[in-house]
Structure 1
Amino acid sequence: MTKPKGKGDDLKYVVWKPPVRVEFLVLSSLSIRPVQRSNTFTRMMRPGRDSPDLSSVLVDSLAEGSHDKSYHPLSFHCYGKHGGTYTLYAATPDERNEWRRRMKEAIGARRAAQAEGSVFQVETITDDTSLPSAHHPGLITGRISCSLPFAKDGHSLVAVGSEDGIWIGMLHQPDTLQRVVSVKHVTQLAFLEEQGSLLVLADKVLHSIDIESIVPTPVPRQHAHQPVLGLQRLSRQGKHVDFFSVGRQAGRILVVYKQRRGLDSVFCVLEVADRVSGNASLATGFRTAREFFLPSDSTDLLFLKTKICVLMSKGFEIMDLMEFQSVTIPQEEDLRRLGKRASTCKPLAMFRLREDEFFLCYDEYGMYVDKRGAPSRSPPVIEWEGIASHAAWHPPYILLFGPTFIEIRHVESGRLAQIITGQDIRCIWDGRGLIRPEGFDEFDDPRTPRVHAVLDDSEMSSSFSTNQPHSRSPPKRQHVVVLAPTERLVVPGTRYSPSLLSVADTLPVYVP
């Protein structure tokens, strides 16, 4: 987008906003009414007027010889933090339609090229969902908030949580999904495979449920334990749980959940105990190991190799669970030197790139740091196209989730590799919450998907109307998908950035 400066021979058009990626453009419908011509409006549309909000595609001859008394608008929206809604005015319907045709062709060609070189493809888990309370087999009702794939008895299953309960079925077989737990406002799920425990955060209360009680083994094994029916409360009475996280450290499986006390964050550490115990307090299979608090609000907790990382408003708090000593990274002076402020940056995630380097994800940018938290590269910052609400990690790519698109970047170069568009996009599984037996990690195979999302990718969501701001919007479609890696990610030499170091380049040939 440009605006004119100067007059006569000195007239120049100066770029006043950066170029917009074509895949971020969405055209409006043609239901926008023409604008009646007037002397005032015509003067506003003439070249030379500094009015970037009213861009024109008029030519002088049209103003002189046309009998059409209207200007015909073409509106489009640009996604991203530098985007917005714009309107171009043409003198005739034919000219407006020609602009629209060429823009649609450009958008379609760009998206086709991206699909050809995509590193992730969208595979459906289910799209049979409903926001109203209507029930039939396979239908998930309520707003979906989380999902979790897991294996049991040799079958690949998926659990989906919503504000109406928990559904479990065979992965990629939507008709098999059935509601197994009727509990309100499910926001998180985790599965401890060795213990056979499904952890559920519902209505601000942390529960454990025996997986055998909801997905029984067809032929029970001898000496198998008797399943405990119903939800077993793990969090304390009268205390709301904001979130929880599970991980393995020093040979122990730990569950850490956060409660709020005033402005402080209080964390309770649970250790998975042996079910076969004479201690009645261990009936749920968990015992309280320790509590600690941090004098600030927090939004998430990540398990690192030997420590934990708590996402705070001021940064990333790295803590040792043995001595409960912590340090905040990055330092305030490092952020100021980069033109960033801790108070305006929302931490989202922290990923290990190698033994001595990490990548810190914020809502608007990412930063490379060493193991002390100091910037490790030049330049150390990657600016996102949009404002992310969640970040997921599938080496060597970072997936950034915003409400209207998923931004996928190569972590070594920061280069934008792919854009997946839609409406009401949310990450519902980022690879965490699944604790397999020690020494077993199915993520060693780069072809294993580790990210789920929900989005509205219907035709209704790909257009907008500016002339009916108060019209009732249609119900949103909840399309639950898995972002599956393509061969461009897992086969050496066929990736998006073949000249850059990648996890795929260092792996041996995969043998099924």
Structure 2
Amino acid sequence: MSVPATSVSSRAVIEHHLRKASRNSAGGLIDGRNSPAQQPRLSRKKVYPALLSLVAEAFYERITLSDRIKDGLTYKAVFDGREAVDKIAYIIKTTDRNLALLLGRALDAQKFFHDVTYDHRLRDSSHELYQFRSKIPSPFVSGELPNAGNADGMLQHERLTHKLAGIELQGQPGSPTSPKQRDDGSDDTPLPSGVFTLLTDCYAPTCSRDRLCYSIACPRRLEQQSRLNMKPQPGLSKQISRESLNDTTETGSLWIHSVPAEIVASVSDAEKKRQEAINEVIYTERDFVRDLEYLRDIWMKRLREDDIVPEDRRADFLTQVFWNVPEIIAVNMRLRDALNKRQKQYAVVERIGDILLDAVPHFHPFVSYGAHQLWGKYEFEKEKNSNPLFAAFVDQTERLPESRKLELNAYLTKPTTRLARYPLLLEAVLKNTPDDSPDKTQLPQVISIVRDFLAKVNAESGKSENRFNLLQLQQQLTFRPGEEIDLRLTDENREMIHKGTMNKRDGEIHVYLFDHALLFTKFVKAKNHEQYKVYRPPIPLELLVVAAADDGVGSAAGTIRSQRKGQTLAKRNSFEKPKTSVTNVVAAVNIRGETKGQFWINFIYLGRRHYNLMLWATSAVAHRKWLELILKQQQAITEKGMIFDTVPLSEGFFSGPNKVNCAAPYSGGRRVVYGTDDGVYISDLRDLHRDPVKVLALLDVTQVDVLEDYQLLIVLSERQVITFPLDALDQNDPMAGLKRAKRISSHTSFFKAGYCLDRVLVCIVKSSQLSSTFKTLEPIDTNTRGRSKPTFKKLLQGGNDTLKIFREFYIPVESTSIHYLKTKLCVGCSKGFEIVDLETLDTQGLLDPHDASLEFVRRREGLRPMAIYRIHNDFLLCYDEFAFYVNKNGRRSRKNFMVQWEGQPSGFALHEPYVLAFEPSFVEVRHVETGMLTQIIQGSNLRLLFADTPPSVTNTGAHHNQYSG
């Protein structure tokens, strides 16, 4: 096939003059895309269609890559032939598809892209798939190069690309490295070069598109004559090579030519088609085995025998690159021989299904080969770019007649493409097979088995490719000192879902979406190694909120994540269908400030490591893809890790200034009492459609609790602790209950009800910066209460027959929390956790001062002790920064257990085996045995309202199991 491009030897000079001439030439030039968000390298250039390098670069930037399936195999980062011809025709501004196809084949001829099966050149067909030439990332990531002192070796290393080109993950569109030529003359991925003479401008200075040129060799002559309605004049003219537009496919020997004519005449037309299809199965099997034998005899044998690859790694290199080719040869040689024997025995082959049905169950080597193919390519590229002797051998061998002008990669893909071709060949046989033939039942079985193997090849190759990419990134990833984070990229189930580049003011950012986190890096290429430096700390997907430009993507760019009010966290039963939990969705919001370009995405990291990072996608397609994939993976994480779900108890009722400050369940959890700025409300959870009802008209209610055994409501209102009998609450008259109110304390900081020393206790705290006074009371049994009803004024002055004093004590520090243990009281204060013996009133610090492993607590200033939970024989101590275990003697236990909270918790709750930490933007759920983060529940203005089992003699064996937020 001829390609009308100038020879390489004269390209440099001709390109220089044509580039110079093209700056002032209007004909044949087109404007590149000029999107402010994209701003690619050619976005402001004009493309001169005669220069292959310019057309190639423009084509690369415009073509859309995606995953496609052909013959049952998934190919990544591909485009089809029709799309290619469309783009080239657009670039060179022509409606002649044959001309565009011819130019595309000029690019193909220089291996700019190739057919995925390496079988043919560019075709104008939507069924043919093509990939850009790809290279594996440089293996030299340690800073050391083989043959580092060799100038040739260094030059070859410099020519390695720093990205995967055309190799992406299963199910995700690819993003090959853009080919770029450097000023020093070396290429990362060399562009095709040459002059496509059919599209060159005329050298005559007086020539124009509307005036006939004097030159008989003018490239525009035919166009001018057509436009000016002139008859063709004798002389030279250009003719597009039609022969080059029609591939001559090697079809092998036709059946009708291989048997006597009388046999051909004796069979029906349908049988002729069937025999031709059978013949194609047989001769393509011979060709396939011949190709594998070529690998064995020309490549493997010479590499094994000659001193091309160093002997100490020669055997391993052959194994890695060619893997189990000998096993495939053995399987298919038996199949080939059986088919040949059958064809030689009978001129008209009656059946082949029995032979295939016996052979295809042994196709397991195809699966192993497909899974290892990428690793083999990596080893091949590594050796080729570090071993000049091997590179010369490759170049020499690929030029041999036996190679049929195909590079080694074309032969290394033969096993997987052959497996994919079997169903097509056999379906053609089956289509013309009569119903009474044994093949009618056997061939479908063969096709089914082969397709099962294809599915395994796709699955295993996808896993292998994913693992390969993760290992490559792991080697090249570097963190800033002190910011190292283990992304666990080598975990068996880790997955790289998507990767690509996004733009920022200070350059290009490489973004990686894993199944668990989002990573931002900057590529750094030094002389001897390549690195991806972490640009910002990785964001766990559970702590990621995304805001994006609204480009009309619909589901991807939705509304800001729901901000429900008055929600309760409930343990999700294993048999329940997952409900929609509070999780982030992509937000379509207007962010004021610098929003250069329309395809911006703002990545927000919630929690203690909070930051915002705004980046710009390179196109609308990339923008939409990022949003869709991030949202999809976040939803998958939410559904997979859902332990607690959210149930709205009241939505839209408590709004404006009347906010909920506290809540407490009672009546077995069927009712909830709320404390608000303007009073106390009660809600019946058995009827969530009814709004809460106001039962007490009080101001600034900051705490409520219910002692069910005593039918007593305790309220902290305007720093006064007041009790109310539950039967005094009137849903129709909020003032009625005040008549039976009893003031217990004033100037109160907080109170806490609980169970200790086999009794229900209420501890009232008056705390200042220097000291805290504690008054512990216990309820008076209703059977012993007095029956007289004193006046409301007398009650507020101190009358009390609901709680009686049990113990009083004093601590010379500020206190913030109280926790009831079995026989003692634990106080959270500025000094840490203090243990108070309520019988002797002795006080001592919880942590053993002689335990050196607790120095990290003692040295830390400003720590806030917040919660303590007994887990088996140990105590889980929860501070506002971390959590760890101590034993009953206050010494560190479970030393491998340490939780660093993602957020800044304002409250904690326990529901074994999980502990929940509440902060305003999310709730993190961790396992108490491992400390592992198991769930994140995002929200807005989240607060812990109640987190304990209601104090009751009947509830002493129950764990904390009721939460409101």
TM-score under structure 1 normalisation? 0.69
Deviations, residues 467-493 of structure 1 (Å, cap 9, x unaligned): xxxxxxxxxxxxxxxxxxxxxxxxxxx
**1:129 maps to which residue?**
653
Q: Structure 1 residues 341, 31: CA separation in 2 closer, same or farther (over 3 Å shift)? A: farther
- Distance (Å, rounded) in 1 between the aligned partners of 2:818 and 2:942: 22
Once the two structures are superposed, the pairs formed by residues 438-477 of structure 1 within 5 Å of their partners are: 438-440=953-955, 443=958, 449-453=961-965
* Cα displacement (A) at 1:288: 2.3
Aligned pair partner of 2:630 in 106, 131, 143? 106
Greater alpha carbon shift after TM alignment, 368-377 vs 281-290: 281-290
Of 746, 765, 784, 1:258 maps to 765
- Give the alignment of 1:118-157 within 5 angstroms: 118-132=642-656, 142-151=658-667, 156-157=670-671
Q: Can you list the C-alpha shifts for 1:318-363, whole angstroms capped at 9, x where unaligned? A: 1101111122122466465447634232111000001x31100111
- The alpha carbon displacement at 1:117 in A equals 3.5
Pairing of 1:116-195 with structure 2 (within 5 A): 116-132=640-656, 142-151=658-667, 156-174=670-688, 175-195=690-710
CA shift in 2, pair 1:13/1:29, >3 Å: closer
Runs of 5+ consecutive residues of structure 1 not aligned to the other structure: 33-68, 134-141, 217-226, 454-512
* Distance (Å, rounded) in 2 between the aligned partners of 1:321 and 1:357: 21
Mapping for residues 428-447 of structure 1, pairs under 5 Å: 428-432=945-949, 434-436=950-952, 438-440=953-955, 443=958
C-alpha distance in 1, partners of 2:739/2:806?
25
Secondary structure (helix, strand or coil) at the match of 2:670 reads strand
Deviations 1:7-32 (Å, cap 9, x if unpaired)?
45445222354421112111124279
CA contact (8 A) 2:754 2:762 kept: yes
Alpha-carbon separation, structure 1, partners of 2:714 and 2:698: 13
**Contact 1:429 1:450 (C-alpha < 8 Å) held by counterparts:** yes
Select which of 718, 727, 751 maps to 1:203. 718
Compared with structure 1, are the counterparts of its residues 173 and 311 closer, same or farther at alpha carbon in structure 2 (3 Å cutoff)?
A: same
1:334-373 matched pairs, under 5 angstroms:
334=852, 337-338=855-856, 341-354=859-872, 356-373=873-890
| 1:246 paired to 2:753 | yes
Residues 298-317 of structure 1 correspond to what in structure 2 (within 5 A)?
298-317=815-834
Q: Residues 886 and 892 of structure 2 are in contact (CA less than 8 Å); yes or no, is this contact kept in structure 1? A: yes
Residues 346 and 75 of structure 1: CA distance in aligned 2, closer, same or farther (over 3 Å):
same
One-letter code of the match for 1:181? Answer: L
Instruction: Output the CA distance in 1 between the equivalents of 2:752 and 2:853.
Output: 28
Matched, 1:401 2:913: no
2:670/2:686 contact within 8 Å kept: no
**C-alpha separation in 2, matches of 1:109 and 1:172:** 35
Contact 1:389/1:401, CA 8 A, preserved across alignment: yes
Q: Which whole-Å CA distance do the structure 2 matches of 1:359 and 1:98 have between them?
A: 46
Match of 1:481 in 2: none
- Give yes or no for contact 2:743–2:800 (8 Å, CA) kept in 1: no
Decide whether aligned partners of structure 1 residues 440 and 403 sit closer, same or farther in structure 2, where only a CA change above 3 A counts.
closer
CA contact (8 A) 1:269 1:291 kept: yes
The answer (yes or no) to whether the contact 2:712–2:724 under 8 Å persists in 1 is yes
1:77 lines up with 2:591 in the alignment: no
Deviation for aligned residue 1:309: 0.6
- Tell me which amino acid in the other structure corresponds to 2:674: V
Alpha-carbon distance between aligned partners in 2 of 1:250 and 1:441, rounded to the nearest angstrom: 11
Instruction: Give 3-state SS (helix, strand or coil) of 2:539's partner.
Output: coil
Change (3 A) 1:326 1:213: same
Indicate the larger mover: 242-251 or 161-170.
Answer: 242-251
Structure 2 vs 1, CA of residues 261 and 104 (structure 1 numbering), >3 Å: closer, same or farther? same
Q: Could you tell me how far 1:314 is from its partner in structure 2?
A: 1.9
Q: Which amino acid aligns with 2:532?
A: Y
2 CA distance for matches of 1:71 and 1:9? 38
**How many angstroms apart in 2 are the aligned matches of 1:265 and 1:122?**
37
Q: Is the 8 A contact 1:314 1:342 kept in 2?
A: no
Amino acid at match of 2:962: R
Contact 2:863 2:881 (C-alpha < 8 Å) held by counterparts: yes
CA 71–274 in structure 1, closer or farther in 2 if over 3 Å, else same: closer
Letter in 1 for 2:891: A
Q: Secondary structure at the match of 1:126?
A: coil
SS at match of 2:840: coil
Q: Distance in 2 between matches of 1:81 and 1:262?
A: 27
Secondary structure at the aligned position of 2:827 is classed as strand
Which deviates more from structure 2 when the two are superposed, residues 322-331 or residues 282-291?
A: 282-291
Distance change in 2, residues 1:100/1:428 (3 Å): farther
* Cα distance change of structure 1 residues 319 and 8 upon mapping to structure 2, 3 Å threshold: same
Partners of 1:342 and 1:335 in 2: how far apart? 13
1:243: Cα distance to partner? 0.9
What is the aligned length? 386
Judged with a 3 Å threshold, the aligned counterparts in structure 2 of structure 1 residues 334 and 209 are, in CA distance, closer, same or farther, namely: farther
Tell me whether 1:324 sits opposite 2:838 in the alignment. no
Closer, same or farther: CA 172–93 of 1 in aligned 2, 3 Å: farther
Question: Could you list the runs of 5+ residues in structure 2 that have no partner in the other structure?
Answer: 1-519, 552-595, 732-736, 791-797
Instruction: Return closer, same or farther for 1:87/1:277 CA change in 2, 3 Å cut-off.
Output: closer
SS in 1 for 2:767: strand
2:953 matches 1:425: no
For 1:341 and 1:335, how far apart are their aligned partners in 2? 11
CA distance in 1, matches of 2:671, 2:708: 13
Q: What is the alpha-carbon distance in structure 2 between the residues aligned to residue 339 and residue 89 of structure 1?
A: 43
Deviations along 1:447-482, whole A, 9 cap, x unmatched?
Answer: x941111xxxxxxxxxxxxxxxxxxxxxxxxxxxxx
Confirm whether residue 390 of structure 1 aligns to residue 917 of structure 2.
no
Equivalent of 2:745, from 228, 231, 235? 235
Contact 1:315–1:342 (Cα < 8 Å) also in 2: no
Change in CA separation of 1:24 and 1:251 when aligned onto 2, cut-off 3 Å = closer
Distance apart, 1:263 and its partner CA: 1.5
Distance in 1, Cα, partners of 2:745 & 2:857 = 41
Q: Which structure is larger by alpha-carbon Rg, 1 or 2?
A: 2
Q: Within the alignment, does 1:2 sit opposite 2:517 as a pair? A: no
Question: Higher relative contact order by CA 8 Å / sep ≥ 6: 1 or 2?
Answer: 1
Higher strand proportion: 1
Q: Are the counterparts in 2 of residues 23 and 111 from structure 1 also a CA contact under 8 Å?
A: no
Native 8 Å contact 2:854 2:892 kept in 1: no
SS in 2 for 1:423: coil
Answer yes or no: is the 8 Å Cα contact 2:910–2:947 preserved in 1.
Answer: yes
Task: Determine helix, strand or coil for the equivalent of 1:183.
Answer: coil
Q: TM-score, normalised by structure 2?
A: 0.38
Q: CA 1:312 to 1:415, structure 2 compared with 1: closer, same or farther past 3 Å? A: same
Provide, for residues 96-147 of structure 1, a one-character-per-residue CA deviation record: whole Å limited to 9, x for no partner.
Answer: x6245324422332323322441111112111324336xxxxxxxx111111
The one-letter code sitting in structure 2 at the alignment partner of 1:450 is Q
- The superposition leaves residues 180-236 of structure 1 with CA deviations (integer Å, 9 ceiling, x where unpaired) of 0111111111111122110011121111011001159xxxxxxxxxx9834211004
Contact 1:335 1:341 in 2 (8 A): no
Tell me the SS of whatever aligns to 1:109.
Answer: helix
The equivalences for 1:480-491 within 5 A come to: none
Q: What is the match of residue 805 of structure 2? A: 288
Q: Determine helix, strand or coil for the equivalent of 2:861.
A: helix
Question: What is the distance in 2 between the residues matched to 1:440 and 1:349?
Answer: 20
Q: Counterparts of 1:74 and 1:176 in 2: how far apart (Å)?
A: 40
Amino acid at match of 1:81: R
The structural deviation recorded for 1:406 is 0.4
Q: What SS does structure 1 have at the residue aligned with 2:727?
A: helix
Q: Deviations over 1:20-53 (max 9, x none)?
A: 1112111124279xxxxxxxxxxxxxxxxxxxxx
Seen in structure 2, the aligned counterparts of structure 1 residues 228 and 284 have a Cα distance that, compared at 3 Å, is farther
Distance of aligned partners of 1:4 and 1:336 in 2 relative to their CA distance in 1, 3 Å threshold? farther
Structure 1 CA distance, aligned partners of 2:767 and 2:713? 24
* Cα distance in 2 for residues equivalent to 1:100 and 1:358: 48
Counterpart residue number, 1:27: 546
Contact kept in structure 1, 2:772 and 2:810, CA below 8 Å: yes
